[in-house]
Every structure is written in structure tokens, then in C-alpha cells.
Chains A and B, each alone.
Chain A
């Protein structure tokens, strides 16, 4: 599979109805369990998987994912181990690396993002989400992504103004990560009613819009997709399952089975929401 075909895997994931995009922190609570958990997400219907490469200062994350990151770092997760993980994990969906810029910047012999992106491409990563990279400073990473055929996915917040949105879209590809609400990541019992509003103002952007931050149930997934989202991103609600299993000392396969069940619920919800749209959509995002 050449680089171009690899990049298109993300577009393909959004082409046939709503995409379910789950997130887990790699190495939480340890390398081996993490392999089983990511594979369970794929079994449960994931269309794209966001793999968190743990960073010591996860500024976009709420308490749930902060704890996951701490467990993963304590288990010895590093950028080098992360790349080994991506090579080893047995899934057939595009993988997006979600991490913070300093790890990308420091990797390899030369400073700057190129060695990291080159390595990521060689192990099969399809794109990046980098919450602490300002659009103004994204140039070098964007260039490296173009060189190696990877996507750079920007996060759009409800407070992102029009001028900033234009800058973000300029450096983005793959999909847009639309924050359903303000604040940090974390599951919540109700989803923001501003999602429809957020999606409406992005209607001119050609990229698929995946909504995240706060989605924790199939019903919420349905509501978000019905409101027009091309995909849903779910992190904390799945990390909660991992954390519970870890606290209870549950065997890995049981936690993996619960993750797969949760994934199915979310994927089902997304599909239901798609079916509820009125009038029925004539096609998909393209």
C-alpha cells in the first residue's frame, strides 16, 4: 500500500455513513493489555482509532484521561514503545496518533517534527491530532505530513472565531475534530446543545466533521450524528472502562469484552442517529 492510498483510508472511513472514532491512551495500564483493548475497539466497529501517545502535560485532557496517561507513563510508555505498539497491534482501521508537540519535536536526531512523522509513516500511522500546537506554528508539521502522506487533524472549539477557523482549515486534512463543548475532555451525562450550532458554521468546510468531548452513550452518539456530525469521537467513556477493569484487577479479556460492548453501543447509536436524519441524507460527506 503506497502513501497516498494510506492517507485515503481516513476519507474512506468517513465515506459510508457516520464514523465511530474511539480513543485510548496507549500503554494504559500496560503494553500487552493495551494491545487487546485497541483490538477490541476495532472488533466493536471502530472506523478510525485515535491512539494517545502519553505526554507528561496533557493540557486538553480531563481527569479521566489524565489518570490514563499517568498509568501509561508509569508502565514505561515512550515514543519508541508507541511505534512498536502501532506496528504490533492487529487492526485493519486507520490509526491517528494523538499527542503533544514536544514529543514530536524532540524525536530523532534533528529537532523538528520530520523524524517523528517519518517514523510514524513507516509504522502505519495515518494522521495526527496535536492539541497544544497553535495553527501559527503548525507549518513544519504540516510540511512533514505532506512529505510522508499523513493527515494533520485540527481541533475546532465553540469559541474558535472565523479568522482562526480559516487558519486551522488551511493546515488541516483528514477530518476536523469538533469540540462539542468548552473545557477539557471527559464523559458527561448530557451532550451540548451547541453541537448543531457548531456544525452549522462549519458547513462550508469540505472536511468531515467528527464531534468529541463528552460523548458517553449510544443515545448521545445518535443525537450528535442526527445533528449533522460525520463522526463521533469517544475517549473518556472508554478509558473509564479500562480504569474500572484496572481497579478491579479484572482479567484483560473481560475488560476487552466490556470495551467491545461499549464500542458496539456507540457505533449503533451513531448509525441510529444517521437513520433519524430528516430528510434522509442523499449521500455521505462526499
Chain B
């Protein structure tokens, strides 16, 4: 997209709302950028109208992921779940040390949604776990569960340690601190990139600055191969 009338104002809006913006370009290269995105199978959205840009920036606040759609069978979809510390469920104790309800759960109804749940035979919900608090839930969105049932989305998972490795990898190699939720996908990509095809898009769904306390605490407890020297964080962040 091209910023025309008041670049300063548009950039300031982007700065304030922090959208996930794929490309900001100019009149000279705009078509090249769009063609490359198309070539990857993406669906570029372009505008050089200031009002449009403002609207797109606002809309992108949540998520702007334009690599194909659910209906586009040419795109394989994976949901990388939290494998936690183990995929085993201890029904006796009512504990599942993971949040992999797509991979290991069964159909049930929780919080008003019919989806896949970590539960015992009576339907009591078991305690879930993940190093990522945002994934630490015994259920999953019903849309995802449906797409898995249809065979459209393949559920996979990585464990807590791998997620922390993914967290450090993207932070160190790209200067992007991913949320611990998204770090699971980074880890999966690292382990399986050879069989995933030429272009893989990861939805970095959230920012990792919210997870720094957890990342420091959990990394310090473990032996994570690519972790930086954690002693600099002794005494916490503040």
C-alpha cells in the first residue's frame, strides 16, 4: 500500500495500533510486492487512499493473515497445540499435563461450546497445563475442532521445552519476540520445515513482551539449548 496524503499521520496510526502489517511500500514497487505476495499464494490488499489505509490499519489490529483461505485446498493448515510436559492424561488425579485437546481430547460441551475437551469418562474437566498461560485451557475453539473433524486442519503439538526454544530462536534470529502461544508454531517449523513445502506462513498471533516473566522463569528452570545467559535477569525484570 502507498501512503499518500499525510505519511506522518498514517505512520503514527500504525505505531499506535501496532497492527501486523505485511508491506508498506511506495508507488514504484507496489506492484512487485503484490505480485510476489500473489506468487506465494497470498491475497494482497492494496490501497493508496488515506481513509482506506486508516481502516485497514485499525482492522489489522487483531490479525492480518492473507495467505489463502480455509477454502483454498492448495494450502495445508496445521494447528500447533501445547504438548505441555506430556500427552498422557492422569484420569485418577484429574490432570492432563498438556493443552492438546485437538490431538488427544474428546467431544463435549464446555462454557457453552461443543468442541474437543480434556475430560474424564463422566465428563468432568481435567486440569490442563501449558507453559503458555494463553493455551492452558481444557478446550479449544469449536471452529478449529470442526476443521480438524473435517480433516481440513491437521493438529500437531510440541512440548513446553520446544516452545521455549522457539521463543528464543525467533527473538535472537529475527529480533521478534513471539508470544509463547506462537512460539509453539516456531518450534514446529524448526523441527519439520523439510516436509512443510517451500513457503510456510506462521501466524505470530501475539507479542512476547507479555510473556517475558514466564519465559525467564521457565527457561531458568530448564536446560534450553539456544537460551541466552539467563543470569542477567536475576532479580526479575523490574
Cα(A106)–Cα(B117), bound, Å: 12
Interface residue? B111 (CB, 8 A): yes
Interface residue? B43 (CB, 8 A): no
On whether the beta carbons of A102 and B109 are closer than 8 Å, the reply is: yes
Interface residue? B29 (CB, 8 A): no
Residues in chain B near residue A105, CB distance under 8 A: 108-109, 123
On whether the beta carbons of B111 and A132 are closer than 8 Å, the reply is: yes
Q: Which of B107-132 contact A (CB under 8 A)?
A: 107-112, 114, 117, 119, 121-126
Cα(A107)–Cα(B122), bound, Å: 7
Interface residue? A103 (CB, 8 A): yes
On whether the beta carbons of A106 and B125 are closer than 8 Å, the reply is: no
Q: Which of A20-28, A52-60, A202-210 has 4 or more CB atoms under 8 Å from chain B?
A: A52-60
Bitwise, A39-83 to B at CB < 8 A (1) or not (0) is 000000000000000011101000000000000010000111000
Interface residue? A134 (CB, 8 A): yes
Interface residue? A148 (CB, 8 A): no
Residues in chain A near residue B107, CB distance under 8 A: 111
Residues in chain A near residue B108, CB distance under 8 A: 102, 105-106
**Can you name the residue of chain A whose Cβ is closest to the Cβ of B106?**
A106
**Can you name the residue of chain B whose Cβ is closest to the Cβ of A59?**
B111
Residues in chain B near residue A31, CB distance under 8 A: none
On whether the beta carbons of B112 and A102 are closer than 8 Å, the reply is: no
Among B108, B109, B117, B125, residue most surrounded by chain A Cβ atoms (within 10 Å):
B109
Interface residue? B42 (CB, 8 A): no
- Choose among A78, A79, A102 the residue that contacts B110 (Cβ–Cβ < 8 A): A102
Number of A-B contacts (CB under 8 A): 47
Residues in chain A near residue B122, CB distance under 8 A: 78-80, 103, 106-107
Interface residue? B19 (CB, 8 A): no
On whether the beta carbons of A57 and B125 are closer than 8 Å, the reply is: yes
On whether the beta carbons of A107 and B111 are closer than 8 Å, the reply is: no
Residues in chain B near residue A56, CB distance under 8 A: 94, 124-126
On whether the beta carbons of B109 and A57 are closer than 8 Å, the reply is: no
Q: Which of A115-139 contact B (CB under 8 A)?
A: 132-134, 137
On whether the beta carbons of A103 and B125 are closer than 8 Å, the reply is: no
Residues in chain A near residue B126, CB distance under 8 A: 56
- Choose among A57, A73, A111 the residue that contacts B111 (Cβ–Cβ < 8 A): A57
Cα(A102)–Cα(B119), bound, Å: 10
Cα(A137)–Cα(B114), bound, Å: 10
A102-B117, A106-B119, A111-B107 known; A55+B112 contact, CB < 8 A? no
Cα(A256)–Cα(B110), bound, Å: 34
Cα(A102)–Cα(B121), bound, Å: 11
**Can you name the residue of chain B whose Cβ is closest to the Cβ of A101?**
B109
On whether the beta carbons of A134 and B124 are closer than 8 Å, the reply is: no
**Can you name the residue of chain B whose Cβ is closest to the Cβ of A57?**
B125
Among B111, B119, B122, residue most surrounded by chain A Cβ atoms (within 10 Å):
B122
Cα(A120)–Cα(B5), bound, Å: 70
Residues in chain A near residue B94, CB distance under 8 A: 56
**Can you name the residue of chain A whose Cβ is closest to the Cβ of B127?**
A56
Cα(A80)–Cα(B122), bound, Å: 9
Q: How far is the CB of A61 from chain B (nearest CB, A)?
A: 14
Cα(A228)–Cα(B230), bound, Å: 65
On whether the beta carbons of A137 and B125 are closer than 8 Å, the reply is: no
Cα(A79)–Cα(B114), bound, Å: 20
Cα(A57)–Cα(B108), bound, Å: 13
On whether the beta carbons of B123 and A103 are closer than 8 Å, the reply is: yes
Residues in chain B near residue A57, CB distance under 8 A: 110-111, 125
Q: How far is the CB of A164 from chain B (nearest CB, A)?
A: 14
**Can you name the residue of chain A whose Cβ is closest to the Cβ of B117?**
A102
Residues in chain A near residue B110, CB distance under 8 A: 57, 102, 132
Q: A59-B111, A105-B108 are in contact. List 13 more A-B contacts (CB 8 A).
A: A55-B125, A56-B126, A101-B109, A102-B117, A102-B123, A103-B122, A103-B124, A105-B123, A106-B108, A106-B121, A111-B107, A132-B110, A132-B111
Q: List 10 A-B contacts (CB under 8 A).
A: A55-B124, A57-B111, A57-B125, A102-B119, A102-B123, A105-B108, A107-B123, A132-B110, A132-B112, A137-B114
Among all A-B residue pairs, the 5 with the closest Cβ atoms: A106-B123, A102-B123, A56-B124, A56-B125, A103-B123
